[in-house]
Amino acid sequence: MEIIQIVGISLVAAVMVVLLRDDRPEIALQISIIAGAIVFLLMLNKIASALNVLQDMAQKANIDFIYLNTILKIVGIAYVAEFGAQICRDSGSSSLAAKIEFAAKIIIMLLSIPILMAVLELLLKILP
């Protein structure tokens, strides 16, 4: 079962981080980065199959591909931003983490503007 592997890897990494934190905090930070990257790489196949199922359903429901694509991009941006922000917070640079989150918010807002415009136009068409 993969969850046991993942919990095992994370626990071992946490122990090593605690071991090295006082002496070599830079190495401890990099261990936590690597552990997070390994866990995500392990989950990659499952995420890919879930996304394929979503895409098939969207195709069958005749939803324009661009909507699902935008949602996918936003989820991806949110994930990467959270990964980076948590690592920065772990290492004590919570101001950097706030900047990363701010940048992610701006990018997501920019990505969702076309969809907002489409919804507004639809509303204006409906209203007399």
Residues that bind other proteins (CB under 8 A): 9, 12-13, 16, 19-20, 23-24, 26-28, 30-31, 33-35, 37-38, 40-42, 44, 47-48, 51, 69, 72-73, 75-77, 79-80
Structure token digits, residue 57: 């359903």
To the nearest whole angstrom, how small is the minimum distance from the Cβ of residue 1 to other proteins? Answer: 16
To the nearest whole angstrom, how small is the minimum distance from the Cβ of residue 28 to other proteins? Answer: 7
- Closest residue by Cα to residue 21 from 35, 12, 32: 32
- DSSP calls for 62-128: T--HHHHHHHHHHHHHHHHHHHHHHHHHHTT-HHHHHHHHHHHHHHHHHHHHHHHHHHHHHHHHH--
To the nearest whole angstrom, how small is the minimum distance from the Cβ of residue 116 to other proteins? Answer: 20
Q: Which is nearer to other proteins, 38 or 101 (CB)?
A: 38
Cα–Cα dist 21/25, whole Å: 4
* Structural contact between residues 97 and 86, judged by C-beta atoms closer than 8 angstroms: yes
To the nearest whole angstrom, how small is the minimum distance from the Cβ of residue 77 to other proteins? Answer: 7
Cα–Cα dist 47/70, whole Å: 17
Q: Which is nearer to other proteins, 1 or 126 (CB)?
A: 1
Q: Which is nearer to other proteins, 41 or 53 (CB)?
A: 41
Q: Which is nearer to other proteins, 41 or 126 (CB)?
A: 41
